Amino acid sequence: MSYVFAPPAVVAVPVVGGGEFPVHRIYCVGRNYADHAVEMGYSGREPPFFFLKPADAIVAVAAGETGAIDYPTLTRNLHHEIELVVAIGKGGRHIAAADAPDHIFGYAVGLDMTRRDLQNEMKKQGRPWCIGKAFEQSAPIGPVLPIAGGGERVRGGIRLEVNGQTRQQGDLAELIWNVNETIEQLSAAWTLQPGDLIYTGTPAGVAAVVPGDLMVGSIDGLGSLRVAVRPAAV
Ligand code: MN
């Protein structure tokens, strides 16, 4: 094969215990905690809905390190959304919720960074969210902990601090659509592949960060994710 330019490098996330998880697609679930749905102006249990980010939105942060993102272009309202991320190790279609754990490689702490002003404008106009959600460096993530190491994640605190102040706090047990149900619904719409990541939604408290801020997200049993916000790249 003779490529006309160098193909992009494989995007990968470190795995606790060794190795790298190669990323295929990034799926994200919208409004999956009741208190966050309410803060975004919705109520009740609606069917889950999904959007995607490109794999190269990943900013992988190794254990014990502090990652960084550049403040993105076009926005004046860059929001943090702390989320449990599910890493798929075995693909499939029409996966029943009861079988979902067989398809999970592991879990990580992630941030679904959002240009909220652009997303809101697109919502108003009934247009796609890509510009608000799917930009570069919009998906920081910590190391993947294999399910074999800690079992299924069905409860446990999830929180985000910015500059030492708590912004978001919840529990995985509050997910409207739990991980296994999410995999069932997602795999009815797309054929899941090894390497897919699923950002499962965020609890209430989403708010803006500015250059110079330090975000520290954590989920019980999965450690923490530290990401600094740098000034806009020139
Ligand atoms: Mn989100």
| DSSP run (H or E) holding 222 | none
Q: Which tens digit of pLDDT belongs to each residue from 26-73? A: 999 999 998 888 888 887 678 899 999 999 999 999 999 999 999 999
Q: Which tens digit of pLDDT belongs to each residue from 161-217? A: 999 999 999 999 999 999 999 999 999 999 999 999 999 999 999 999 999 999 999
- 92-105: average pLDDT: 98
Tell how far the Cα of 34 is from the centroid of ligand 1, in angstroms. 13
Query: Vertex 176, ends 220 and 142: CA angle to 5°?
Result: 35
pLDDT at 54: 98
Q: Which residues surround ligand 1, an ion (CB under 5 A)?
A: 81, 112, 202
pLDDT at 38: 87
Tell how far the Cα of 112 is from the centroid of ligand 1, in angstroms. 5
Average pLDDT of every residue of the chain: 96
Q: What percent of the chain has pLDDT over 70?
A: 100
pLDDT over 90 at 117, yes or no: yes
Report residue 75 as tokens.
């926005």
pLDDT at 106: 98
pLDDT at 45: 75
Tell how far the Cα of 16 is from the centroid of ligand 1, in angstroms. 24
Q: Which tens digit of pLDDT belongs to each residue from 129-170? A: 999 999 999 999 999 999 998 899 999 999 999 999 999 999
pLDDT at 91: 98
Tell how far the Cα of 202 is from the centroid of ligand 1, in angstroms. 5
Tell how far the Cα of 167 is from the centroid of ligand 1, in angstroms. 15
- 119-131: average pLDDT: 97
CB 60 within 8 A of CB 35: no
How many C-beta neighbours within 10 Å does residue 1 have? 3
CB 211 within 8 A of CB 69: no
Q: What is the DSSP code string of 152-167?
A: -----EEEEEETTEEE
Distance (Å, whole) CA 87 – CA 199: 9
Question: What are the phi and psi torsion angles at 52 (to 5°)?
Answer: -125, 155
Tell how far the Cα of 29 is from the centroid of ligand 1, in angstroms. 6
* Terminal Cα-to-Cα distance of the chain (whole angstroms): 36
Q: What is the DSSP code string of 95-142?
A: --GGGGGGGEEEEEEEE--EEHHHHHHHHHHT--SHHHH-STT-EEE-
Question: CA quadruple 84, 90, 93, 98: dihedral positive or negative?
Answer: negative
